[in-house]
Structure 1
Amino acid sequence: MASNTEAVLQRQRAIAPVMPERDPRIDAAKGVAIVLVVLGHAKGIPSWFTVLAYSFHVPLFFVLSGWLSDRRDAYSLRQLLDTLVRTLLVPYVFFFLVAYAYWLLTRNIGEKALRWGQLPWWDPLIGLLSGIGPQLYVHPALWFLPALFVTALAYQLLRRVLQPEMIALLSLPPALAWILAFPGAGLRLPFALDVLPVALLYYAVGAVAGRSASLPRSMWVGCTAALLIAVPWLLLAWSNGRVDINQLRFGATAWKFLIASLLGTSVVLLASPLAAQSAVLRWIGRNTLLILCTHILVFFALSGVAALAGLFPAGTKPGAEWAVTVSIFSIALCVPMRWVLLRYAPWALGLRNETVGAAA
């Protein structure tokens, strides 16, 4: 009996799909991207940092998501929807509700009373249902999850009839036209559809790169190439000015935005062998979803504590030291939060119960 059971298990292991090994360079690149996001959201961060970081950090996330998209090419539509709902929409709803509960408890305290005290209790729920970035004021960072959902879904539907190279090529004209024309209309579309034409281009570029390019293995070669590309990126990013894809702000010109974002993304990818030397960055990169969904809440809580403690008297604002400190704290706090969620609510991180052991 035991031998028969073992034989069955061996056959199951033989036909089970082999999960691709994690590339530490991709994990490290994702770690760099989310650190830039966290710092960019912190009060007190210098304006020059937001100009440079915002020029590419969101496109970098879409490129990295597309880079890893080939694992879903063989999915049926049902499998695709199940995966995207579980890994993106379930965390979106869960962390929104956490943020909403905090908003209800604190909206009549201090500065929040001036901004939100008069709003009806149900007003934030409009943002949850619409997925429109500016309406997600109880948790602004969550806009990225519905944006990635519609982008990944659109790409995989196109992938059933087109090759990645063709999708990337066909995505370029609509993206340019969208950047030039749509923001001026003053409209916002539900569930991040107003970001889709631009996001799809980066996702498709990432998918092409993930299939046809390889990251440098040599730290020195990668860093040398990154330094060379960093010069034109700096010039273009700075001259293009402030970018915020969530707010449909693309800087001075469309072509500068597109080129600067791709150059900045290339800098991080080329320097990824160096970044991969850091175990901390690799861990951060493996936990980008948790960090994305919690750092704003930590910022809100720390700002409230600072206000009650009188750390910033009237007329003074937080500086770079505060921004860096709260950013480090918010990321470090993810270590115990991850343990709690893996133990009691792994679904909040898009995990099935049977995959918790591998993620732990």
Structure 2
Amino acid sequence: MASPLSPARAGSPASDSAPIGTGAVERDPFFDNAKYLAIVLVAVGHSWEPLPDSGRVVEALYTFVYAFHMPVFIVIAGYFSRGFDLSPKRVWRLFTGVLVPYATFEVAYTLFHRAVEDPGFPLTPTDPYWILWFLPALFLWRITTPFWQLVRWPVPLALAVAALASMSTGVGDDLQLMRVLQFLPFFVLGLRLRPEHFAYLRRAWVRVAALPVLLVALLVAYWSVPRVSTSWLFRSYSARELEEPVWTGAAMTLLMFAAALVLGACFLAWVPRRRLWMTALGAGTLYGYLLHGFLIRGARYLGGYEDPFFETQAGRIAVTLAAALLVTALCTPPVRRALRYVVEPRMGWALRAGGGTGPGSPTYAQPSEKNS
């Protein structure tokens, strides 16, 4: 996955609550709230993965959540990338906000894995560690934004790219390119959305209709558990790799896109629009995203899931609540202040003298531009 919002920081995952380049300084609570709720779903979903004999109910919930939580994050990231261009200002922010944290956490997770699981675990920068795939994906999506802003039918074209990838056997593993291509339509869709599209979800009838739709989706997820592989939802594999007919790749691409679109809209319809206790946490979702993996993988590798308690319903509920509370804590201002230099590095020292003083160029290290 995953952080979009206010005074624009074009390099942070989903990190701006106003479109890049607008000069706006007010964050929109709706998007901060949406990001916080989405990152809770991400962490909860990851916490369910190591559960022993999780049962059909948890598997159904897992399928339901995975059908839309990352698409929602990616759509919002695309929405706040609408003003991205290849100017030095934007490219520098993209480098410091995405590639530098990716390199830092790739090393950190590798060392962590060596310490708790496998001393010989290799450092592979072109093969992102678990959750880190989102950062190089965001870099590739954003760097191609000018192209998607130029073509006439960007979303259908991106869907065609995703469908072809799902039917292909030639997409390599570097940077989890299969995932990058299959999730691409959601980013491009975000580029095409406007404020009025999100405003439409505020209508009372949309919110009322969302409830039965979500209920039906849960029932479909429960039905699908023994019948359809959840591996489709990861978008990491082609149809052939999943031992399915090639044509099913295109069919599943379109089906999952439609399902994510509907469920994502239902989710967003119920996201609060006003400022709440969770709003401030929405600005720190990048921290929650990057850090929660240490806790979940640590618990898994150190045997935390082996207690028979976690085979019970009470144990599964406890894991769910613990994941939600932990990722919430990781999004708080104290964590952000302590780790800002790692997650959002200010690298003005790396610029050559006068490199950021041209017309329209920013003072790159200004705190006001570092808001996610």
TM range (shorter): 0.7 to 0.9
- In structure 2, relative to structure 1, the CA distance for the partners of 1:175 and 1:349 (3 Å cut) is farther
Q: Mind listing any 5+ residue stretches in structure 1 that lack a counterpart?
A: 1-15, 108-115
In the TM superposition, what whole-angstrom CA distance separates every residue of 1:217-241 from its partner, at most 9, and x where no partner exists? 8574552242254355446555465
- In structure 2, relative to structure 1, the CA distance for the partners of 1:350 and 1:143 (3 Å cut) is farther
Task: Kindly indicate which of the two structures has a greater share of residues assigned to helix.
Answer: 1
Q: Is 1:97 aligned to 2:107, yes or no?
A: yes
- In structure 2, relative to structure 1, the CA distance for the partners of 1:349 and 1:295 (3 Å cut) is farther
SS at match of 2:126: helix
Instruction: Find the aligned partners of 1:66 and 1:29 in 2 and give their Cα distance.
Output: 14
What amino acid maps onto 1:339 in structure 2? R
Q: Is the 8 A contact 1:143 1:246 kept in 2?
A: no
| TM, length-normalised to structure 1 | 0.73
Instruction: Find the aligned partners of 2:346 and 2:45 in 1 and give their Cα distance.
Output: 23
Q: Kindly report which structure 2 residues correspond to 1:146-157, keeping only aligned pairs within 5 A, or say none.
A: 146-157=136-147
1:23 matched to which residue of 2? 28
- In structure 2, relative to structure 1, the CA distance for the partners of 1:187 and 1:340 (3 Å cut) is same
1:162 matched to which residue of 2? 151
Q: Is the 8 A contact 2:76 2:190 kept in 1?
A: yes
- In structure 2, relative to structure 1, the CA distance for the partners of 1:216 and 1:31 (3 Å cut) is farther
Name the count of aligned residue pairs: 312
Q: Offset at 1:213?
A: 1.8
In the TM superposition, what whole-angstrom CA distance separates every residue of 1:314-348 from its partner, at most 9, and x where no partner exists? 99685331232143124314433212123x54634
- In structure 2, relative to structure 1, the CA distance for the partners of 1:145 and 1:316 (3 Å cut) is same
1:204 matched to which residue of 2? 188
Q: 2:66 aligns with which of 49, 54, 60?
A: 54
Instruction: Find the aligned partners of 1:47 and 1:56 in 2 and give their Cα distance.
Output: 15
SS at match of 2:144: helix
- In structure 2, relative to structure 1, the CA distance for the partners of 1:230 and 1:346 (3 Å cut) is closer
SS at match of 1:193: helix
Q: Kindly report which structure 2 residues correspond to 1:1-360, keeping only aligned pairs within 5 A, or say none.
A: 18-19=23-24, 21-42=26-47, 43-44=50-51, 46-72=58-84, 75-107=85-117, 116-117=118-119, 120-121=120-121, 123=122, 125-126=123-124, 128-131=125-128, 136=129, 140-159=130-149, 161-162=150-151, 166-179=153-166, 181-182=167-168, 185=169, 188-210=172-194, 213-216=197-200, 218=202, 220-231=204-215, 233-234=217-218, 237=221, 239=224, 242=230, 243-245=232-234, 247-248=236-237, 253-254=251-252, 255-272=254-271, 274=272, 276-277=273-274, 279-303=276-300, 307=304, 312=307, 319-335=316-332, 336-342=334-340, 344-345=341-342, 347-348=344-345, 353-355=365-367, 359=371
- In structure 2, relative to structure 1, the CA distance for the partners of 1:157 and 1:143 (3 Å cut) is same
- In structure 2, relative to structure 1, the CA distance for the partners of 1:246 and 1:290 (3 Å cut) is farther
Instruction: Find the aligned partners of 1:79 and 1:186 in 2 and give their Cα distance.
Output: 35
What amino acid maps onto 1:150 in structure 2? L
Please tell me the root mean square deviation across aligned C-alpha atoms, in Å: 3.5
Identical residues among aligned pairs (%):
21
Q: Is the 8 A contact 2:29 2:275 kept in 1?
A: no
| TM, length-normalised to structure 2 | 0.71
